[in-house]
Amino acid sequence: MPLEGKTYSGFVAIVGKPNVGKSTLLNALLGAKVAPISPKPQTTRKRLRGILTEGNRQIVFVDTPGLHEPEDALGEFMDQEVFEALSDVNAVVFVVDLRHPPTREDERVAQALKSLVGKVPILLVGNKLDEARYPEEALKAYHALLPEAEVRKLSALDPRQVAGLKAELLALLPEGPFFYPEDFAKSDQSFEDWAAEIVREEAMKRLWEEVPYAIAVKTEEVAKRENGMLYLKAVIYVERPSHKPILIGQGGRKLKEIGQAARKQLEALLGRRVYLDLEVKVYPNWRKDPEALRELGYRS
């Protein structure tokens, strides 16, 4: 049944430097796991749309990679994803980390938002309030970067605080038709991409130094078995031959650990049994190769 009466809808971009909790906040706002999360920066590499529909209001959240100084073609792609996300939005959530003072990367984000001042609401959201020792001082310093923004502070792990932000964002929406059907999924990404991101998230949690940033994951096959189990084959690509034994681990233990954690998460989120088949391949210097980026889903 189509909705009767007025409807309200709009795009809200979630921006900030790497590792400030943008994806955690998006997942909390949606009440669903749609974006990968790890303690390491640059876990998010592509724009991700999260769809929140409540009554006659619909927000299309655009989660973005952390804005940073790019060092390769992948970094340039990630920054371009941010600028494109800001090109047509109804509001912006600028997320900062209250545990630390502003950095050059925060300044870079604030500078990118200057052109939107006076055109759309910009909420400066201080995150990680539960861990911050001097949140008021930190928030004041962040606000100085973009005085025109309205300030808020919260912990993305606190449901009540997130609910307050969600209600405020829903109230900001202009009148307009929904962009997605009322019963549409919480995200516009394909199942294959979503599953690959779960695998990459678990790998990033367990790898160190350069290796976690040098991996990409691509889902090669999805099939439903007669016994009801979902078969899923994914390939983890690394840049150097020396990365491969690190990822596999002695006796295959590291890869097995990654696979078990990813399978457990997939089964919990899907509510069904999953057989996860992982393979590791070398794709030399893929982060610097535009053609490789296209093949791995980072360019259209």
The pLDDT assigned to 86 comes to: 80
The pLDDT assigned to 36 comes to: 82
**Per-residue pLDDT at 109 exceeds 70:** yes
Q: Tell me if 36 sits within 8 A of 85, measured CB to CB.
A: no
CA distances (Å), origin 230, targets 186, 227, 275: 21, 9, 6
- Mean pLDDT, range 128-146, rounded to an integer: 97
**Per-residue pLDDT at 243 exceeds 80:** yes
Residue 217's DSSP bridge partners are 236
Contacts of 59 (CB under 8 A, 6+ apart): 9, 10, 11, 12, 51, 52, 169, 170, 173
Q: Residue 24: what are its φ and ψ, rounded to 5°?
A: -60, -40
The pLDDT tens digits of the residues spanning 6-61 come to 999 999 999 999 889 998 999 999 999 888 877 666 666 677 889 999 999 999 99
**Per-residue pLDDT at 2 exceeds 60:** no
Lowest mean pLDDT across 25-34, 69-78, 132-141? 69-78
Kindly indicate the confidence band of residue 1, based on its pLDDT and cuts at 50, 70 and 90. Answer: very low
- What's this model's pTM, rounded to 2 decimal places? 0.83
- Mean pLDDT, range 113-140, rounded to an integer: 96
Provide the 10 A C-beta neighbour count for residue 238: 24
Contacts of 26 (CB under 8 A, 6+ apart): 14, 34, 35, 48, 50, 61, 63
The pLDDT assigned to 63 comes to: 81
The pLDDT assigned to 68 comes to: 58
Q: What is the 3-state secondary structure (H, E, C) of 183-199?
A: CCCCECCCHHHHHHHHH
Contacts of 208 (CB under 8 A, 6+ apart): none
The pLDDT assigned to 162 comes to: 98
> Of 39, 7, 14, 25, which Cα lies nearest the Cα of 212?
39
The pLDDT tens digits of the residues spanning 175-218 come to 999 999 988 889 988 999 999 999 999 999 999 888 988 999 99
CA dihedral 268→274→278→283, nearest 10 degrees, is -70
- Mean pLDDT, range 232-244, rounded to an integer: 97
Kindly indicate the confidence band of residue 4, based on its pLDDT and cuts at 50, 70 and 90. Answer: low
> Of 56, 14, 17, which Cα lies nearest the Cα of 35?
14
Instruction: Give residue for tokens 């394909």.
Output: 190
Report the C-alpha gap between 158 and 129 in whole angstroms.
10
Q: Taking phi first (over 0 means left), then psi (-120 to 50 degrees means alpha), and beta for anything else, what does residue 24 get?
A: alpha
The pLDDT assigned to 55 comes to: 94
